[in-house]
Amino acid sequence: MAEKQKCTMAFAPATVANVACGFDVLGFAIYGLGDRVTASFKDTPGVSIKSIIGDEGRLPLSVKENTAGLAVLSLLEELETPPKHGIELSIEKQMPLGSGLGSSAASSVAAVVAVNALLGNPFSKKNLLPFAVAGEMAASGEAHADNAAASLLGGFILVKSHRPPDVIDLPTPEKLHCTIIHPDIEIQTKNSRKILKKDVSLEKAVKQWGNLGSLIAALYTNDYELIADSLHDEIIEPVRSLLIPGFDKMKQAALDAGALGCSISGSGPSLFALSSSREAAEIIGIKMGDVLKSEGLSFEIHISKMNTEGAQIIKNTL
């Protein structure tokens, strides 16, 4: 069977969701971190996961328990003609798990992009989103499209609605850089969601939609000052930041070093800070790291421009 050796490999980037003022609706993608998934045909029917590298043995190889596996099953269900052969996936994580950087979304997105290419692209890129989101259900128990949409499409995205996922591409100002600091602790999205209150005060909700609205206006007008004025979160950050040692000091250090804004990436524990130059992004990283050093915590820093490309096929031997 000649088709057995054919494979496609996709890379899907890590992502920052929420972005301070956009809980569950905003996200953007970064460079340098993400997941690779290789898809190939196999003789036996169905989907299987051959291997997972980079997860320290923590992710399930069972397709129905794995976000990437579930995403691919969801895609296959929507095909008019089922593929003649089974599909085998190999997952290579190039980013930390439970970091707040959309690890499960990156796996789901890379898997559906790789499999779509393997099958001769029956779906457009944007139409892969519902499958990736279905995969994410396995990780958080809820379907949130913010990480998956940013990882798939790149740049800044707004999730207008989650079911079905409806996403708007927002412009990404050219000079924007992101500093990520990932403290060496882990927070499960499920737990990070449980501690949130079910209600918010109307007063704070109004402030939040003012800030979200102005951030979107700022992205369309390349207004870095307005971006800085908009990156506030009085609803989620005050609760979730309690789980992150040194959060307030790190945020202050980032702002003092010239960050446009700084908040929790997704459900944490990573923080992101935005700035308008690579130099600023690097200094911000050093200053935030100094705080964690004084807390006695180890950490990783990542500096990146906004990733405006999203998921990509990086190998195709069909």
Looking only at residues 139 through 158 of this chain, which bind its own copies when binding is defined by CB under 8 A? 158
Nearer to its own copies, 234 or 282 (CB): 234
Q: With contacts defined by CB under 8 A, how many residues of the chain interact with its own copies?
A: 37
Does 191 help bind its own copies (rule: CB under 8 A)?
A: no
Q: How far is CA 10 from CA 37, 144, 181, 234, 309, in A?
A: 5, 22, 25, 37, 13
The first and second tokens of residue 209, run together, are: 């939609």
Angle between helices 129-140 and 67-77 in degrees, nearest 10: 140
CA torsion through residues 176, 262, 283, 304, sign: negative
Q: Is 179 a catalytic residue?
A: no
- The backbone torsions φ and ψ at residue 144, rounded to the nearest 5 degrees and listed phi first, read -120, 130
Selected catalytic residue, list 15, 136, 172, 179: 136
Cβ atoms of 133 and 110 within 8 Å: the answer is no
What is d(CA 243, CA 247) in angstroms, rounded to the nearest whole number? 9
Nearer to its own copies, 188 or 221 (CB): 221
Cβ atoms of 232 and 211 within 8 Å: the answer is yes
CB of 256 to its own copies, least distance (A): 23
Cβ atoms of 15 and 30 within 8 Å: the answer is yes
CB of 190 to its own copies, least distance (A): 16
Among 10, 12, 26, 72, the residue binding its own copies under the rule CB under 8 A is: 26
Selected catalytic residue, list 15, 38, 67, 189: 189
Scanning 21-29, 41-49, 68-76, 125-133 for contacts with its own copies by CB under 8 A, the matching segment is 21-29
CB of 210 to its own copies, least distance (A): 5
Among 63, 137, 143, 200, the residue binding its own copies under the rule CB under 8 A is: 200
Does 197 help bind its own copies (rule: CB under 8 A)?
A: yes
CB of 270 to its own copies, least distance (A): 21
Nearer to its own copies, 213 or 238 (CB): 213
DSSP string, 39-92: EEEESSSSEEEEEEESSTT-S--SGGGSHHHHHHHHHHHT-SS--SSEEEEEEE
Does 55 help bind its own copies (rule: CB under 8 A)?
A: no
Cβ atoms of 146 and 155 within 8 Å: the answer is no
Angle between helices 103-118 and 146-153 in degrees, nearest 10: 50
Nearer to its own copies, 181 or 216 (CB): 216
The first and second tokens of residue 82, run together, are: 């089922």
What is d(CA 102, CA 284) in angstroms, rounded to the nearest whole number? 22
Looking only at residues 201 through 240 of this chain, which bind its own copies when binding is defined by CB under 8 A? 201-203, 205-214, 216-217, 220, 226, 229-230, 235
Nearer to its own copies, 1 or 202 (CB): 202
DSSP string, 7-46: EEEEEEEEEEESTTT-TTTEEEEEEEEEEEEEEEEESSSS
Q: Site mask, its own copies, residues 271-300, x = CB under 8 A?
A: ------------------------------
Among 51, 62, 121, 161, the residue binding its own copies under the rule CB under 8 A is: 161
Q: Is 15 a catalytic residue?
A: no
Nearer to its own copies, 185 or 239 (CB): 239
Which residues in this chain contact its own copies in the complex, by CB under 8 A? Answer: 22-26, 158-161, 166, 168, 170, 196-203, 205-214, 216-217, 220, 226, 229-230, 235
Show which residues are catalytic: 136, 189
